[in-house]
Chain A
Amino acid sequence: MHPPISLIWFFLTAGVSIGLFNFTYFMEFLTLFGKNTAMPRQAVIISLVISLVLIGLGAIGASFHLGHKMRAWKAIKRFHTSWLSREAVFSGAYGFVLFLYGLAYYFNANLFIQHSLGILTFVLGWLSAFSTAMIYASNKFVLEWYTSLTVLYYLNMYLMLGSSAFLSLTYFYRPEFVPTYLFLTFLFVSLGLAFRIAFNIRQFIIPRPTINEALNLPHNRPIRVLDTGTTTNNYCTEEFYYKKGKDLLGSVLPVAYILTFIVPLFLILYAWITGNYNYNFFKIAFASLVLGSFLERWCFFVEGNHVQNLFYGLYPEEGYRLRKGYMERKKTVIRL
């Protein structure tokens, strides 16, 4: 599949926003049970402003994916059937209620109002993340995505981004929580690595349809594509088969693995074991996570193979091997 940069951008901004809010509010929430976990006022306000700005930037970025931005509001109409519609509703509501929560916190509104809004924001944020993940996980024609792993992995990435961002706040405002957030970041990044490996291994073992199934012809007849009717690519071949991406995947995927998982894990583990809480470590770990996640999402799209590619002979053959086994498209050169 062709990776839409606007959607990767939305993933990163919404991910940091929802993830960061998740931990910021969680610390507030624990105070309800008499725990001394409240972050200083300044830290909470900084965190809320970052979350709000990011979700705003995310929405603006995501609108670049649309052909008609001014009609984006119409996306709320099919809430009962469309995950994209649900994503639009929940992410919009998350941003709005987050803003209200920010106001309530800033003006010290009564605790009941504050926490009601806080819990609502928390829930809406996760519903928005879940809906986004379901857009991919519910598409049964891209087998790489059509699994609950896609959802688990997606939500975990939000936690990963959120806990590593929150680490910086604890470093400056509540250093005694640094070990806790080191542990949480380590946990979520390790889980992310496990999910990613599982996601990649799964690609080898999923049973794939063949061109015979697509054409509904006997299984024992070999079928070859002779001609796809046009001399150049078209919307379908460009949207569902990104040749340049497929060629680059072998180089980008290892870099994505290193930046998203290996570098942060190493830095966090080092800080944790040595007790050397150098802020530069946390900064680099977070930057590496964000950059790595960008590449990781790019790979996620490129790794997706849409079954419509079968008609063009551009689907991985049975016995799929990573980066190999793609049928080359016949090159037609037109000389004028």
Chain B
Amino acid sequence: MAQFALVIDLNTCVGCHACATNCKEWNTQAAFGPLSDFDPYGREPQGVWYNRIMTYEMGEFPNTQVFHLPKSCLHCQDSPCVPVCPTGASYKREQDGIVLVNYDDCIGCKLCSWSCPYGCREFDEADKVMKKCTLCIDRIYDESLPPEHRKPACVLTCPAKARFFGDIEDPNSEVYNVIKERNGFVLFSDAGTNPGNHYLPRTETKVHVDEHLLKHDNPLFLEVLRRHHVGG
């Protein structure tokens, strides 16, 4: 069975939010729009986003790495958000594995969002229905677009070329091979959701801290001292 999905390279993603922005741009105006904004020019601007980018720091000072994690619906192969939906508004397409919400059937009970371990569904307070990433299904099947444009908006826009799109079950596809060759992994593999979207792990870099870095006037040195002090 086909499973369309995204593969995101954590080595090259620079956390620029271009994918999230272009996602919002496209999906606000296209077939699944709008993605409502609330108080957009105020102090607490809130809105619906299909794609959000988190930033994490891994490791222990001074050997730390920062990485960015773009996260949108992962189009799980065993999607827990689908069976809990009381109306059948949430469904997984047989032909390509894309998980969608039928806005005309959704009663806005929010139960599907409770059942998604990734926090990838968002309730649109204006439309009172649940929304989520559609993998730009309205782009990828649009025959009026040139073939190279029949991809999700986030993939087309990524300046670092960190995003791949395709059928992860098809051995001839780019995504299938890149997952295989570079040990693609999924989020929360224990959750039993079997996500479609994969991530390519960061390659390890060893940082060698020179002694001169720990000089007295180096602010990092003060940080070491402080931690040592707190720790001891």
Contacts and interface: CB of A to CB of B under 8 A. Distances in A.
Interface string B118-134: 11001100011100000
Contact of A82 (B85, B185, B186): B85
Interface size band for B:
35 or more
B113 interface: yes
A273 interface: no
Nearest to A85: B86
Contacts of A1: 114
A142 to B, nearest CB: 7
Interface in A100-132: none
A216 B54 contact: no
Interface residues of A, number: 57
B200 to A, nearest CB: 12
A82 to B, nearest CB: 4
A88 B119 contact: no
Nearest to A240: B119
Given A221-B58, A232-B45, A239-B110, A82 B129 contact: no
Interface stretch (A195-203, A223-231, A260-268, A280-288): A223-231
Contact of A81 (B54, B60, B84): B84
B221 interface: no
Interface in A14-72: 65-69, 71-72
A221 to B, nearest CB: 5
Interface stretch (A153-161, A290-298, A306-314): A306-314
B189 A216 contact: yes
Which secondary structure dominates where chain A touches chain B? mixed
Contact of A239 (B47, B106, B123, B129): B123
A308 B118 contact: yes
Interface string A191-214: 000000000000000000101011
A142 B43 contact: no
Contacts of A215: 56, 69, 187
Contacts of A221: 58-59
Interface string B33-44: 000000000011
Interface string B19-30: 010000000000
Contact of A72 (B69, B89, B107): B107
Interface string A234-249: 1110011000000000
A305 B177 CA distance: 37
Contact of B87 (A71, A231, A336): A71
A76 B86 CA distance: 7
Interface string B87-122: 111000000000000000111111101111111001
A3 B136 CA distance: 33
A149 interface: no
B87 A75 contact: yes
Given A216-B185, A234-B122, A308-B119, A336 B48 contact: no
Contacts of A229: 17, 20, 52-55
A141 B113 CA distance: 11
B222 interface: no
A82 B84 contact: yes
B57 interface: yes
A309 B118 CA distance: 8
